[in-house]
Amino acid sequence: MDIPGYDVAHLLAGGMVLVSFMLLYQDRMGALLNVFALHATVLALSVAWQAYVQHAPHLYVTACIALGLKAILIPSALRRIVRRLDIHREVETTVGIGMTMLVGVALVALSIVLMLKVTVGVDPLGRQDLAFALAVLLLGLLMMVTRRNAVSQVVGFMSLENGLILAASGARGMPLVVEISIAFSVLIAFIVIGLFLFRIRERFDSVDVADLHTFRGDRA
Amino acid sequence: MIRAATLQIGQALLVLVLAPALTGVARKIKSRLQQRQGPSLLQPYRDLWKLVHKEAVVAENASWLFRVAPYLIFGATWTAASLVPTFATGLPFSTAADLLAIVALLGSARFFLALAGLDVGTSFGGIGSSREVMIASLAEPALIIVAFTLALIAGSTQLSVIAAFMTSGDVGLRVSLGLALTALVIVAIAENARIPVDNPATHLELTMVHEAMVLEYSGRHLAVIEAASSLKLLLYVSLIAAVFVPWGHATPESAPAQYAIGIGSYVVKLAAGGALLAVFETTIAKMRVFRVPEFLGASLMLALLGALLMFVTRSL
Amino acid sequence: MDALSLSAGTTLDMALIGISVLLGAGVAAAFAARARYGARTIYVACLITTAAMLAASLSFLIVGGATESRHLPIGLPWIGMHFDLDLLAAMFLVIVNLGGVSASLYGIGADAEEREPTRVVPFFATFLGAMNMVVLAADAFTYLISWEFMSLSSWALVMAHHRDADNRRAGYLYLVMASFGTLSLLLAFGLFAGPSGGYAFADMRALHLEPLRAGVVFVLVLIGCGSKAGVVPLHAWLPLAHPAAPSHVSALMSGVMTKVAIYGLVRIVFDLLGPPPIWWSVVLLILGGVSALLGVLYALMEHDLKRLLAYHTIENIGIIVIGLGLALAFEAGGIGWAAALAFVAALFHVLNHSLFKSLLFYGAGAVYATTHERDMEHLGGLIHRMPVTAFAFLVGSVAISALPPLNGFVSEWLTFQAILVSPQLPEWGLKFLIPAVGAMLALSAALAAACFVKAYGATFLGRPRTSAAESAHDAHASVRVALLGLVVLCVAAGILPGYVIDAIAQITTRFVGADMPLQSTQGWLTIVPIDAARSSYNGFFVFLFVAFTAWAAALVIRRVATGAIRRAPPWDCGYVDSSPALQYTASSFAQPIRRVFGTWVFRARETVTMPKPGDTRAAHFAVVVRDVVWETLYVPIERLVTSVSTRADRIQFLTIRQYLGLMFVTLIGLLSLLALTQ
């Protein structure tokens, strides 16, 4: 692989980490969905670049799936759900946004340490790309943990998926079968979550997870 | 020796002359984007000329600090602005202050500005000063950490060396640079009191930060402070241009024609910076005050991430 | 090791004579203080003595003399007292005696307002003598004796105004923490020298301890010296005790005594203990970073002027400890020149802090002497009534906020340059820790500037909030001399840092084994810490440019346009004749920062009770700030100690038979132990 190739891949992986931080920063639903679309677009670009550099045409299909499904279809569907269920547009967090971002930086540091210690002897830029992918995964998980609103938790889950795909495409040699199955599982998960949201909203007039906890009878 | 000193003085005068023009360009483009005619490009110069000739009205209980502060602010900002490479690198006094010293000089200017806001003892000065130091307490560390990142990439904290390194092409596309650029742009917006952090054209006191601090100033004092603000904007645009768009600089060994090219490319970069600023200000709304720390906190985190990546990968 | 010339040198003898004079003056003052000019005479005697010692130690440092030693046959019969004067001790002697000179000048001017001179003057002289003794001590016994002397005389000074309940509480806490610190040092020295070792520093230097023992000694020394210096979490006594003492003593405690504690740390860790392992630097870096950040955040919540200054001492000690941690890290990593850089940065900051902290405390003391107010919310507008004090305090504020062209910036800049060298260290932990510490340092510098805008603005600017502030007058002549002298020194250290660095850099050769490049040979008064292509700074040019452009702008505008001024009521957006109560107070100034940082560090909460419309009661605003360190560390320990001692108290009330039984059981236990282990 030529060095400029790795440079661009590195830049795109870093861009995904940057967009993950932007996801953590948002406090309005509409902006959150737009940034998520950006996240998926950058993922598509990165996978397409990997397809070009590795001469692996099946990765082009993966890139198209990411672009079509995650950058266009899912955000618009989520936007419609938000409008239909009349979910209010502010993203509530459990800890402050500043604190969340500080923990995010610590998570990125953790993934760098982990990756660089575990994969010794691999070429440097490839190791960093893997570290970035792990960081995107952890940041998606952080988003799921620190958000109260179910829609934002879905977005966090999606960005976690994106991190996995980034890691898999960079690691060279993920067959299309696995990719299709992942895509379908994401789709099914999305449908289930959508139905779930609709039922919750019908029953309880709200999708705030803290309220669900109360209704479950765990806390007074 | 004489040539070097002349160039340095020439750079200092150039930044002083161009600063109001940058403000004028940004204002004009913003007005045009808002479907207005807008003031002429020379209006800031006319404003300064008018203010300088007016009698200064000073509050009865204002102290000597109130009268001296505008000149100190201007001196510190002008000194910092003339040390950023604009059309040439390697000017003789560029070894006197590196990027960290330039950041700290801006901090000195801000210190005296905040004190001047508190001097007369009105509540509006207090609002401006307290918000200004809150913004500065997050913006200045972000700037210092960006300086760390640039220093680790280029191997030096001196701006001439950094600019020369960036031109040389050894850099490559680095994630840390992207993160540093984002953080630097956010800090530049916050420090220059631009939308979305502060509105330079507002007349509602409760939305002011910078304007509230200088509310009591008039006449030549106000002219000097306005000139210092324009210089600060020019400094940030020059800094971003010198580090991230460094082509066109003349070096100490260049022929005179190269200096002309340097000045020309510098003017183009300034105009482009002003235009981008105007577009950005028009497309985004002003944030509420307590969203600003989150905004700046994000830039601090991005800068920290960039520096962390540089620290970790330096030996790989 | 360089030749310790056992023949006594003149500088050391002068210093020892000076110490004896100071101690003698202390004894004399116990009788003379109540006489008409008695206190003033004693202060003049202290002034002359410390000035002489300052001159001697300064010339020793600049010339770079060889180490001098003295062994006096007083004290313990089989040890005597050893005294050593090397370059490190000379530098700290300069700092101690500079503080002594300015404090004596202040004392001459301020003693008229001192209500209880017999409680202050004797202990002042002994305090100065004891601090000098600590710096010169060259064996464990001398060191500990002088250390305790220093603690006890400063405690007596803290308790000087003992009728105030707050001062009594501060003195009690100070005594507990000081005793705790001395105990740690005692254990450290004991563990170091071992059961058969000699207690002289020369003998200790020759010992090579195993890593575990060296580590325990390091931790004990860190606890002992760190608690005196004010390192978080052992800092709780500092903001209570330093303000409680009279103002010149506060300056000595904050500006000088904390440095003597740093001297102890440097002497034992860098000199006596051998080559350091990496984890020592990790501990120092973490403690330094946390102290720097937490100190300045505490200061932002304060509106008592002296307590704010005391919290800033904690912050600056944090910065010094960061520098020392970096020096240890580089020394352990084998990068000698970077260790020299970090060490010089730390020592430069030691000098700078003693200069501007003394300046600020004298200013605060002058304010208190004339208004009897320490609360900033009751001051204001003092710049008109106390012009010299206000100017000096302004210079001190600019210096402590690390703003060019003054001296605080130079040491901060050097520390940043040392941080930028750290990617060359191989250890992983340091690669993540040092950028985080650098971020904490940058954050604390910005917050310090914010805090001093608040302090200066609330105290000196604006309009007077009380009649006490309105009727203030400027300080006594000798106090003004002290203030202006320190102003000159702050500016000089900022403009001519090369000479200071050269004087300090000679120390590094012995302690970290490497050198910094010679600064006086760099052209045009520039300082180049590593390499000219890498970084450089010229304080003189920066000062010249700023001053020249400011002056030129004023001149040109006055010539070309107009110099007219008209005085009028403040504009204030058209509101007429607002009262001084409507101006921003210190707590309102700090509100945005309190909201951003204070809510999660201190759990700061604001409550506003507004009466309903029509109700004529006043509205009430309260801020509750909780000290996290106090609640998590000190209160549980206090409760534990109290409960254990309450239970153990029962031993006082046993019957005679139970006492005999106790002795019997102990004897049987010891005999059985002997039987089992033989």
- Phi, psi torsion values for A216, nearest 5 degrees: -70, -15
- Those chains having 3 or more beta-carbon pairs within 8 angstroms of chain A are B, C
Q: Which two tokens stand for residue A219?
A: 């806390």
Residue pair B187/B300 in contact (Cβ under 8 Å)? The answer is no
Cβ of A14 within 8 Å of Cβ of B179? The answer is yes
Domains in chain B, number: 1
Residue pair C411/B104 in contact (Cβ under 8 Å)? The answer is no
Identify the CA nearest to C363 among candidates C458, C450, C457, C460: C460
> According to the model, what pLDDT value does residue B314 have?
67
Interface A-B, measured as beta-carbon pairs within 8 A, has a size of: 58
| Residue C203 CA from chain centroid, whole number | 30
Q: Which two tokens stand for residue B227?
A: 């000139």
Distances (CA, A) of B12 to A32, B83, C444, C554: 45, 8, 32, 17
Identify the CA nearest to B48 among candidates B286, B249, B224, B293: B224
Cβ of C432 within 8 Å of Cβ of B312? The answer is yes
Q: Please report where in the chains the tokens 């490009």 appear, as a residue.
A: B41
Question: CA angle, A94 as apex, A88 and A97 as ends, to 5°?
Answer: 90
Residue pair A63/A183 in contact (Cβ under 8 Å)? The answer is no
Domain with B278, as residue range(s), is 2-313
Q: Which two tokens stand for residue C469?
A: 């502030």
Cβ of A104 within 8 Å of Cβ of B301? The answer is yes
| Residue C396 CA from chain centroid, whole number | 15
> According to the model, what pLDDT value does residue B45 have?
94
For residue B29, give how far its alpha carbon lies from the nearest alpha carbon of chain C (Å): 30
Cβ of A96 within 8 Å of Cβ of C432? The answer is no
Cβ of A109 within 8 Å of Cβ of C600? The answer is no
B254 in contact with C at a CB cutoff of 8 Å? no
Alpha carbon distance C627, C621 (integer Å): 20
Nearest CB partner across the interface for A8, out of B173, B308, B313: B173
* DSSP H or E segment with residue C82: strand C81-85
Cβ of B104 within 8 Å of Cβ of C435? The answer is no
Q: What is the DSSP code string of A132-177?
A: HHHHHHHHHHHHHHHB-BHHHHHHHHHHHHHHHHHHHHHTS---HH
Cβ of A7 within 8 Å of Cβ of B172? The answer is yes
- Could you give the 3-state DSSP secondary structure of residue C67? coil
Residue A54: pLDDT band (50, 70, 90) is confident
List for chain B the helix, strand, coil content (%; round to 5): 75, 0, 25
Residues in A touching C440 (Cβ below 8 Å): none
Cβ of A117 within 8 Å of Cβ of C432? The answer is no
Residue pair C79/C85 in contact (Cβ under 8 Å)? The answer is no
Distances (CA, A) of B151 to B145, C289, C420: 10, 22, 8
C600 in contact with A at a CB cutoff of 8 Å? yes
Whether residue C546 has pLDDT greater than 50: yes
pTM for the full predicted model: 0.90
Cβ of C561 within 8 Å of Cβ of B220? The answer is yes
Nearest CB partner across the interface for B97, out of C417, C542, C582: C542
> According to the model, what pLDDT value does residue C516 have?
77
Residue in chain B closest to C596 (alpha carbons) equals: B293
Residue in chain A closest to B303 (alpha carbons) equals: A105
Alpha carbon distance A192, A171 (integer Å): 30
Q: Please report where in the chains the tokens 């009661």 appear, as a residue.
A: C617
Cβ of C428 within 8 Å of Cβ of A117? The answer is yes
Identify the CA nearest to C22 among candidates C111, C96, C119, C76: C96
For residue C596, give how far its alpha carbon lies from the nearest alpha carbon of chain A (Å): 9
Which amino acid is located at C263 in the chain?
Answer: Y
Alpha carbon distance B132, C592 (integer Å): 10
CB atoms within 10 A of CB C473: 13
Interface A-C, measured as beta-carbon pairs within 8 A, has a size of: 7
For residue A192, give how far its alpha carbon lies from the nearest alpha carbon of chain C (Å): 38
For residue C187, give how far its alpha carbon lies from the nearest alpha carbon of chain B (Å): 39
Residue pair C150/C257 in contact (Cβ under 8 Å)? The answer is yes
Residue in chain A closest to C435 (alpha carbons) equals: A109
C432 in contact with A at a CB cutoff of 8 Å? yes
Q: Please state which of the ranges A184-198, B267-281, C241-255, C328-342 shows the lowest mean pLDDT.
A: A184-198
> According to the model, what pLDDT value does residue A11 have?
85
Mean pLDDT of B224-253: 89
Alpha carbon distance C448, C397 (integer Å): 9
Residue pair C14/C53 in contact (Cβ under 8 Å)? The answer is yes
Asked whether the bond before C404 is cis by omega within 30 degrees of 0, the reply is no
Q: From the candidates C431, C433, C437, which should be mutated to test the interface with A, based on the most A CB atoms within 10 A?
A: C431
Cβ of B308 within 8 Å of Cβ of A105? The answer is yes
Question: CA angle, A8 as apex, A130 and A113 as ends, to 5°?
Answer: 25
Residue pair C327/C393 in contact (Cβ under 8 Å)? The answer is no
B161 in contact with C at a CB cutoff of 8 Å? yes
What is the bridge-based pairing of β-strands B56-59 and C565-568? Answer: parallel
Cβ of A101 within 8 Å of Cβ of B178? The answer is no
B100 in contact with C at a CB cutoff of 8 Å? yes
Whether residue C289 has pLDDT greater than 50: yes
Identify the CA nearest to C516 among candidates C526, C504, C533: C504
C552 contacts: CB under 8 Å, gap ≥ 6: none
Residue pair C328/C284 in contact (Cβ under 8 Å)? The answer is yes
What length does chain B have?
A: 316
> According to the model, what pLDDT value does residue A185 have?
67
Alpha carbon distance C643, C213 (integer Å): 32
Residues in C touching A109 (Cβ below 8 Å): 432
Q: Considering chain A, what percentage of its residues have pLDDT values greater than 90?
A: 14
Cβ of C580 within 8 Å of Cβ of B121? The answer is yes
Whether residue A178 has pLDDT greater than 70: no
Alpha carbon distance A183, A193 (integer Å): 15
- Those chains having 3 or more beta-carbon pairs within 8 angstroms of chain C are A, B
Q: Which two tokens stand for residue B204?
A: 């509602």
B305 in contact with C at a CB cutoff of 8 Å? no
Alpha carbon distance A176, A196 (integer Å): 30
> According to the model, what pLDDT value does residue C196 have?
74
Alpha carbon distance C326, A38 (integer Å): 42
Distances (CA, A) of A172 to A58, A169, C661: 12, 6, 80
Note the pLDDT tens digit of each residue in C563-594. Answer: 888 998 888 888 876 788 888 888 889 999 98
Identify the CA nearest to A180 among candidates A188, A172, A171, A191: A188
Note the pLDDT tens digit of each residue in C235-270. Answer: 989 999 998 888 889 999 999 999 999 999 999 998
Note the pLDDT tens digit of each residue in B66-111. Answer: 999 999 999 999 999 999 888 888 787 888 888 999 999 999 999 9
Residue in chain A closest to B171 (alpha carbons) equals: A7
Q: Which phi-psi region, left, alpha or beta, contains residue C572 (left: φ > 0; alpha: ψ -120 to 50)?
A: left
Residues in C touching B98 (Cβ below 8 Å): 535-537
Residue pair A183/A192 in contact (Cβ under 8 Å)? The answer is no
For residue C388, give how far its alpha carbon lies from the nearest alpha carbon of chain B (Å): 12
Alpha carbon distance C487, C494 (integer Å): 11
What ranges make up the beta strands (E) of B89-139?
none
Going from N- to C-terminal start, the domains of chain C cover 590-626, 630-677
Alpha carbon distance A63, A65 (integer Å): 5
Average pLDDT value for chain A: 79
Which residues, numbered 368 to 387 in chain C, qualify as contacts with chain B under a Cβ-Cβ cut-off of 8 Å? 380-381, 383-384
Whether residue B284 has pLDDT greater than 90: no
> According to the model, what pLDDT value does residue A188 have?
66
Whether residue C3 has pLDDT greater than 50: no
For residue C191, count CB atoms less than 10 angstroms from its CB and return exposed for 0-12, middle for 13-18, buried for 19 or more.
middle
Cβ of A109 within 8 Å of Cβ of C432? The answer is yes
Interface B-C, measured as beta-carbon pairs within 8 A, has a size of: 287
Question: CA angle, B296 as apex, B291 and B299 as ends, to 5°?
Answer: 135
Identify the CA nearest to C530 among candidates C412, C421, C405, C410: C421
Cβ of B121 within 8 Å of Cβ of C435? The answer is no
What SS3 string covers C142-154?
HHHHHHHHHHHHH
Q: Which two tokens stand for residue C406?
A: 């003054």
Residues in B touching C429 (Cβ below 8 Å): none
Residue in chain A closest to C596 (alpha carbons) equals: A98
Greater confidence (A73 vs A175) lies with A73
Cβ of B127 within 8 Å of Cβ of C426? The answer is no
Alpha carbon distance A126, A129 (integer Å): 5
Cβ of A113 within 8 Å of Cβ of C600? The answer is no
Whether residue C638 has pLDDT greater than 80: yes
Whether residue C475 has pLDDT greater than 90: no
C562 contacts: CB under 8 Å, gap ≥ 6: B52, B53, B54, B55, B219, B220
For residue B31, give how far its alpha carbon lies from the nearest alpha carbon of chain C (Å): 27
Q: From the candidates B84, B94, B108, B135, which should be mutated to test the interface with C, based on the most C CB atoms within 10 A?
A: B108
Alpha carbon distance A201, A190 (integer Å): 16
Q: What sign has the CA pseudo-torsion B30, B34, B35, B36? A: negative
> According to the model, what pLDDT value does residue A79 have?
84
Nearest CB partner across the interface for B301, out of A105, A112, A132: A105
Alpha carbon distance C383, C367 (integer Å): 11
Instruction: Using only the alpha carbons of chain C, give its radius of gyration.
Output: 27
- Phi, psi torsion values for C137, nearest 5 degrees: -65, 140
Residue C315: pLDDT band (50, 70, 90) is very high
C564 in contact with B at a CB cutoff of 8 Å? yes
Mean pLDDT of B21-40: 92
Mean pLDDT of C460-473: 88
Greater confidence (C510 vs A188) lies with C510
- Those chains having 3 or more beta-carbon pairs within 8 angstroms of chain B are A, C
What length does chain A have?
A: 220
- Could you give the 3-state DSSP secondary structure of residue A50? helix
Whether residue A173 has pLDDT greater than 70: no
